[in-house]
Chains A and B, each alone.
Chain A
């Protein structure tokens, strides 16, 4: 109930701002909604965006349950894309789709996890704070990808930094003419999987114990270092699936900046979704609709720019975050860590 109130409040404030720049807020709202949900095509786009938001939202949520604040979704998504891209570029001439697709998905998870594992290791054994290291790793990922794309993976003769196209066996089945592809099913499976893992397995139990009370986790026999690694690797793997949706589902080649913004938005999605898989899914749908409806809105009404859409997202985050007192546990966790 509360999230709905928060969203409504955010929309009222947005409406006022829209009115100030001289646009009828009700017209804007109608364009936003029809833009997001008005046709099969727009619904398809909304779901495609929502798929990315689900992956990064789940990534943040899993880490959060372990008391870890993973801000590196951006970089992990990037590397996940590299992983599945490399697997496909290496194997798509030989393997059929039914074999290649699972391998590529696994490669995305592996690369995303590996990119999260380094900051996790640094925190668990060296004590460097994961918030700092995951942010830094976003920059490292970005630099690494540019280097690889410009110097190594660029298709011969191409002027833009992108790899050669994937053979059809390396492409996910998609709805014709739309970016919506089989990754949506993967996202739903991840939601279910995260739910089962966190609340119905002993590892999820231990992970949540660590997040709530590290001392009790030690007492209960959990190795905090190993659990930190596990939580971050899972988180990174989930973020890495953004690469599956974008590269295998849409671009069908490795490109630059396909992950832009999804990793950070994942923090907001998890926040809104109360770190519960179902909540994350609903929040991801909302963010997907905003992304798609906002694009339509910016297209129809020139005085509303793309930045305006970002403002709307920001306001929703503000209202659902500040009003719900959600950052409090993070701050507590942060303080608890400082004073052992």
Chain B
């Protein structure tokens, strides 16, 4: 009895098990999270990270196993229980109401009385305190719709703290952030830790693990396969533990001769309803057999450029040609027509654009190609052909589980991304537009996706990649264009580029 009893763990999971039908998502996971630390959880797509955290947060019920919080066994029947235990979760997809102010969002579900005014005043005071204590400043009266993604995420964190959480779970928080915003997020997390908050962080980015965490757990196929103190390990070891083999992210690209121009834009501009110039006089050329990367801080027109080129939005001025066919304000394109011309598009936001959450995977696997053969014959959809097509994509792109009949939303985030990518690349397009190709996918899949993009390029496809990941652009692209405030402000050769000069250009410091 002399031995010091160690302080109770903030969270302890004992033998947690969870299956969805035949998919055994979490297999007997036990893990201990010390109070006041930042713990990282990494693992392949579909390893069960989100499921495990959803169990901890009361969104799913474990089939068996126990959850202990602060040394006490607890029942987690719903998020309400989790919140009562001081556990809060920031979801990858924000749960904010766009038309409400920050303050209104904050008190949603915790209004504090029948009259809003009292609750609002109390919340304002509390918000000021949180801002002071944790260094989380947001204008309480700003409309959420007007905030940047990084700020919206801060509101989500504030919402959790506002409810008194002492344990914060973040599921891939940086997937939607710019590198600068990510840095700021980690500053916030470190402050939270200093104030005694326990943080659990799921991410695919090993450099974030190395930079922010104290401990890291590696999951594979529903199990914890390794646990390390962050100071004792490195990115390479973690990558190997995750995937079970060595990962090589450097690409051997053989230079390809200059091909014909497949996509060319001339003075392309886009002005929105409020008169804001989103695209300004864009002139780019994309040749067969090259990958052009567009670097830039999110919100400088990259998304709009992809939308215009894919035919989703019509340009306000200027024109562009795809495989020799002109599109301008008088002859607007539409997504169906662009596909006919041989253009494929992997949208940045797969959940909102690239798939239908409620559809089966097989239905998602033909989105945009449903009208023609081989999927439609004699005006009827050929169910077996669609299913076989999906199974083939899943095989080739290693989408797990291989169940064409499963609801699309029941796939893990990274596997959804792989399915959408597979759908577009498998059409062997002549022009391929890719937004955030590896958002949310694991490091093994990044390697695979990059190889596939290079393969497409080698077979003569013209590839345009938009990504917030500078390393990705640097390793993939044959040419890099930098976008700032809706304009192309410069072109760089990747061999001569480095992150610093690119960063300066992206910040609009100089036009090269």
Q: Write out, one digit per residue, whether chain A residues 206-248 have a CB within 8 A of any chain B CB (1) or not (0).
A: 1011001101101111110000000000000000000000000
CB of B20 closer than 8 Å to a CB of A:
no
CB of B367 closer than 8 Å to a CB of A:
yes
Q: How many A-B residue pairs have CB under 8 A?
A: 71
CB of B8 closer than 8 Å to a CB of A:
no
CB of A127 closer than 8 Å to a CB of B:
no
Q: Are B356 and A218 in contact (CB under 8 A)?
A: no
Question: What B residues does A219 contact at CB under 8 A?
Answer: 310, 312, 335, 345, 347, 353-354, 367-368
In angstroms, how far is the closest chain A Cβ from the Cβ of B103?
A: 18
CB of A205 closer than 8 Å to a CB of B:
yes
CB of B290 closer than 8 Å to a CB of A:
no
Evaluate whether A216 and B370 lie within 8 angstroms (CB atoms) in the complex, with A209-B356, A223-B334 already known. no
Question: What B residues does A156 contact at CB under 8 A?
Answer: none
Q: Are B353 and A216 in contact (CB under 8 A)?
A: yes
Q: Are A205 and B380 in contact (CB under 8 A)?
A: no
CB of A331 closer than 8 Å to a CB of B:
no
Q: Are A216 and B355 in contact (CB under 8 A)?
A: yes
Evaluate whether A220 and B367 lie within 8 angstroms (CB atoms) in the complex, with A212-B359, A213-B356, A339-B99 already known. yes
CB of B110 closer than 8 Å to a CB of A:
no
CB of A303 closer than 8 Å to a CB of B:
no
Closest residue of A by beta carbon distance from B349: A215
Question: What A residues does B334 contact at CB under 8 A?
Answer: 221, 223
Closest residue of B by beta carbon distance from A199: B381
Q: Write out, one digit per residue, whether chain B residues 249-273 have a CB within 8 A of any chain A CB (1) or not (0).
A: 0000000000000000000000000
Closest residue of A by beta carbon distance from B380: A200
CB of A177 closer than 8 Å to a CB of B:
no
Question: What B residues does A128 contact at CB under 8 A?
Answer: none
CB of A201 closer than 8 Å to a CB of B:
yes
A206 to B369, CA, bound (A): 11
Q: State which of B97, B99, B335, B379 has its C-beta within 8 Å of the C-beta of A218.
A: B335
Cβ < 8 Å to A, chain B residues 351-405: 352-359, 363, 366-368, 370-371, 375-376, 379-381, 383
Q: Are A200 and B381 in contact (CB under 8 A)?
A: yes
CB of A157 closer than 8 Å to a CB of B:
no
Q: Are A215 and B357 in contact (CB under 8 A)?
A: no
Interface size on A, residues (CB 8 A): 22
CB of B336 closer than 8 Å to a CB of A:
yes
Question: What A residues does B375 contact at CB under 8 A?
Answer: 202
Q: Are B312 and A206 in contact (CB under 8 A)?
A: no
Question: What A residues does B381 contact at CB under 8 A?
Answer: 199-202, 204-205
Question: What A residues does B358 contact at CB under 8 A?
Answer: 212
Closest residue of A by beta carbon distance from B338: A221
Closest residue of B by beta carbon distance from A213: B356
CB of B98 closer than 8 Å to a CB of A:
yes
DSSP majority for the B interface? loop
CB of B457 closer than 8 Å to a CB of A:
no
Closest residue of A by beta carbon distance from B311: A221
A201 to B371, CA, bound (A): 9
A219 to B312, CA, bound (A): 6
A200 to B335, CA, bound (A): 22
CB of B215 closer than 8 Å to a CB of A:
no
A215 to B145, CA, bound (A): 18
CB of B418 closer than 8 Å to a CB of A:
no
A222 to B371, CA, bound (A): 10
Q: Are B335 and A220 in contact (CB under 8 A)?
A: yes
Q: State which of A200, A202, A338 has its C-beta within 8 Å of the C-beta of B371.
A: A202
Closest residue of A by beta carbon distance from B352: A215
A174 to B93, CA, bound (A): 57
Closest residue of A by beta carbon distance from B98: A339
Q: Are A212 and B368 in contact (CB under 8 A)?
A: no
Q: Are B376 and A216 in contact (CB under 8 A)?
A: no
A198 to B228, CA, bound (A): 52
Question: What B residues does A209 contact at CB under 8 A?
Answer: 356, 359, 367
Closest residue of A by beta carbon distance from B364: A216
Question: What A residues does B370 contact at CB under 8 A?
Answer: 202, 205-206, 220
Q: Are A205 and B363 in contact (CB under 8 A)?
A: yes
CB of B49 closer than 8 Å to a CB of A:
no
A220 to B352, CA, bound (A): 12
Q: Write out, one digit per residue, whether chain A residues 256-289 have a CB within 8 A of any chain B CB (1) or not (0).
A: 0000000000000000000000000000000000
A199 to B371, CA, bound (A): 13
A205 to B379, CA, bound (A): 12
Nearest first, the 10 A-B pairs at minimum CB distance are A221-B336, A220-B368, A221-B335, A202-B370, A219-B353, A220-B367, A212-B356, A202-B376, A202-B371, A213-B356
- 20 further A-B contacts with Cβ under 8 Å, apart from A204-B381, A221-B368, A339-B145, are A200-B381, A200-B383, A201-B381, A202-B381, A205-B363, A205-B366, A205-B370, A209-B356, A209-B367, A215-B352, A216-B354, A216-B355, A216-B367, A219-B345, A220-B370, A221-B335, A221-B336, A221-B339, A339-B98, A339-B99
- B→A interface (CB under 8 Å): 97-99, 145, 310, 312, 334-337, 339, 345, 347, 352-359, 363, 366-368, 370-371, 375-376, 379-381, 383
